[in-house]
Amino acid sequence: MLREMLAEPLVAERTGEDGTGEGPNAFAIELLPDEVIGRIAAGEAIERPASAAKELIENAIDAGASSVHVEVEAGGRRILRVTDNGIGIRAGEIELAFKRHATSKLRTADDLRDISTLGFRGEALASIAAVSRATVVTRHRADEMGVSLHVRGGVIEQRRLVGAPAGTAVAIENLFFNTPARLAFLKSETTEKRHIHWVVLRYAMAYPNIAFALKQDGRERFRSSGGGELADVVANAFGLKAFRCMMAIDAAEERRPGRPAIGITGYVSQPTLSRASRDRIILFVNGRAIQDSTLSHAITQAYDGLLKAGAFPFAVLMISVPPDFVDVNVHPTKAEVRFRDSQLVFVAAQRAVRETLLKSTDSAPAADLWTATGFGEDSIAYQNPQPAWRRRNAEDLFDDEGIDAIPEAAEAPLRPRTLPVLRVVGQVGAAYIIAEGPSGLYLIDQNAAHERVLYHQLIDESANGGISSATLSESQAALLAPADAELLSEVSDLFTQLNFEIEVFGPNSFVIRRAPQIVSGMLCTEVLPRMLASLRRSEKSAICALEALAAAAAVRSGQILQQEEMGLLIAQLERCPSPFASPSGRKTLIHLSREDLADEFKRR
């Protein structure tokens, strides 16, 4: 019964402003029976101010608050105060709230399967109060008088009835005053401040309906309106400049009979915006901020071929799954969850992000990654701006810290060099080109490198009026395998976009009259099946069709190349964005630096 009531969408209650909504705290606080305690994954002792902030904010959200204020002094060591306008705690239950395993959110072990509140272990207040001086002032909506309680190191020092607004204010002072070891291990005040800041930002994103405010040392650091728009919060959290480079996830939810409904919404960055670490990939599952490296990897992978190695996207991903599909009772700080079938979630997340990205690049094929680099670590990345992504206003002054790549230039410059000037030495095995550069030796896979070069040529062409094509001097007839023929009719639009002119001639047979310039000298009877084979394995999108065309047109391995041909290929590769991998992710070159060689020959 309790579970059923809890499973009602809490958000509806949270948005109720009249204060009559019955949040989970409408239930009495009770001590959990031993058998339930045994089933609860051990909660972690409060390990830093940000963990205390997180717990207090979660309590406010669970209490159905529509406004949550967080005030911090000295990175949370001196004071950490969270004030909400939620349902409040009944005066008669206040002492119980500070007992370990006392909660209003869980009754039976069965309820654990279906948790829809953020808290459920009944441990946080007890753990926090054990290592601080805690003061709570609260008034339950149904009570006339509020109550205030002082607890010091876990011992109740004072309790009195007070007049107070409905809601709860918990103030934590001198955190860890009685646990010097933990105090000594705290990171710098700045680090703690940053952690708390991110805790607030994450909950503000997860609950755009709630108005959050964060004050650190008397200065307001963040505020969300509670207007219900995720976009507002993300723009506010990341800054307008970064937000302009993000797009709303736009992907159809895949519903299959017998599979749980997995909803993915949120925002992801266009490939023009990236960061050198994964720390702007923010994940939520059913309103709970979680960490999941496999899931962030799945998201990064969706950018395959769009971001250079070592660059990571920005993402705010709201994943919703049926409560019984996810186990939240696995991690001490509830920061990790376990899905009944994690693969399903990863695939859904990756698909949604990829679909969003491809939609944006489809409509504007100039979306292309430029890497202005020297060769080596000290590379700086910037992007070839897409017209729509170019806008940037002077008033967007905000804390830029950490944003690595933002569209800068108004016009695309001559392609910057991405490799040093290389001199072709020769070819080995009719597959690899050996070249020499200022910093050593390069072994280049001719097929992978050519694929990369052609892919960018095609991207450029489609951005500048379309793929250049030519009418074939003699039209070519191709007889395809039935499966290929079927696929070709299915994706004929993609071929038309590439400026192929293909007519159905008979069952499984086609006549090609016009073809892209880069394959016009080739036998289309070979090009078509190759492209169809790639498309069969990939998504049926314009970008993947470009990749397929580049792959089909690239020089094969096994083909002997003339010196000039190799020279031309290398010269193109030197100015190619992301020259280190083919569009499908194969390595294009191996670099042996002078130092590598000297090491190898023991000359150092």
Give the interface with Mg ion as residue ranges (CB under 5 A): 59, 119, 124
Q: How many CB atoms lie within 10 A of CB 257?
A: 4
Nearer residue to ligand ADP within complex by CB, 58 or 445: 58
Q: Kindly report the length of the chain.
A: 604
Among 6, 29, 422, 478, binds ligand ADP (CB under 6 A): 29
Q: Which residue of the chain is nearest ligand ADP when measured via CB?
A: 119
Residues 148 and 232: their CA atoms lie apart, in Å, by 36
End-to-end, the C-alpha distance of the chain in Å comes to: 75
Nearer residue to ligand ADP within complex by CB, 27 or 398: 27
Residues 494 and 78: their CA atoms lie apart, in Å, by 62
Nearer residue to Mg ion within complex by CB, 118 or 234: 118
Q: How far is the CB of 541 from ligand ADP (least distance, A)?
A: 45
Residues 540 and 556: their CA atoms lie apart, in Å, by 24
Among 10, 46, 53, 60, binds ligand ADP (CB under 6 A): 60
Asked whether the CA dihedral 459, 460, 466, 472 is positive or negative, the reply is: negative
**25 binds ligand ADP per the rule CB under 6 A:** yes
In order, the DSSP letters of 568-598 are: HHHHHHHT-SSTTB-TTS-B-EEEEEHHHHH
Asked whether the CA dihedral 277, 279, 280, 286 is positive or negative, the reply is: positive
Residues 140 and 13: their CA atoms lie apart, in Å, by 16
| In contact, 24 and 105? CB cutoff 8 Å | yes
Nearer residue to ligand ADP within complex by CB, 134 or 478: 134
Nearer residue to ligand ADP within complex by CB, 89 or 230: 89
Q: How far is the CB of 154 from Mg ion (least distance, A)?
A: 17
Per-residue interface string for the shown chain with ligand ADP, residues 351-390, x marking contact by CB under 6 A: ----------------------------------------
Q: How far is the CB of 121 from Mg ion (least distance, A)?
A: 7
Per-residue interface string for the shown chain with ligand ADP, residues 83-122, x marking contact by CB under 6 A: -x-xxxx-------x----xxxx-------------xxxx
Residues 539 and 317: their CA atoms lie apart, in Å, by 22
Residues 153 to 212: which contact ligand ADP by CB under 6 A? Answer: 168
At residue 241, the 3 state secondary structure works out as: helix
Residues 500 and 458: their CA atoms lie apart, in Å, by 14
CA-based radius of gyration for the chain: 30
Nearer residue to Mg ion within complex by CB, 212 or 238: 212
Asked whether the CA dihedral 51, 55, 60, 64 is positive or negative, the reply is: positive
* Partner whose footprint covers residue 104, from Mg ion, ligand ADP, none (CB < 5 to 8 Å by kind): ligand ADP
Nearer residue to ligand ADP within complex by CB, 97 or 550: 97
Q: How far is the CB of 25 from ligand ADP (least distance, A)?
A: 4
| In contact, 81 and 71? CB cutoff 8 Å | yes
What are the b/e assignments for 361-393, b being 16+ CB within 10 Å? beebbbbbbbbbbebeeeeebbbbbbeebeeee
Q: How far is the CB of 43 from ligand ADP (least distance, A)?
A: 8
**488 binds ligand ADP per the rule CB under 6 A:** no
- With contacts defined by CB under 6 A, name the span among 52-60, 320-328, 436-444, 520-528 that binds ligand ADP: 52-60
Nearer residue to ligand ADP within complex by CB, 90 or 241: 90
* Partner whose footprint covers residue 29, from Mg ion, ligand ADP, none (CB < 5 to 8 Å by kind): ligand ADP
Among 51, 59, 132, 272, binds ligand ADP (CB under 6 A): 59
* Partner whose footprint covers residue 280, from ligand ADP, Mg ion, none (CB < 5 to 8 Å by kind): none
Residue 279 per-residue DSSP state: G
**280 binds ligand ADP per the rule CB under 6 A:** no
Q: Which residue of the chain is nearest Mg ion when measured via CB?
A: 119
Positions that interact with ligand ADP (CB under 6 A): 25, 29, 55, 59-60, 62-63, 84, 86-89, 97, 102-105, 119-126, 168
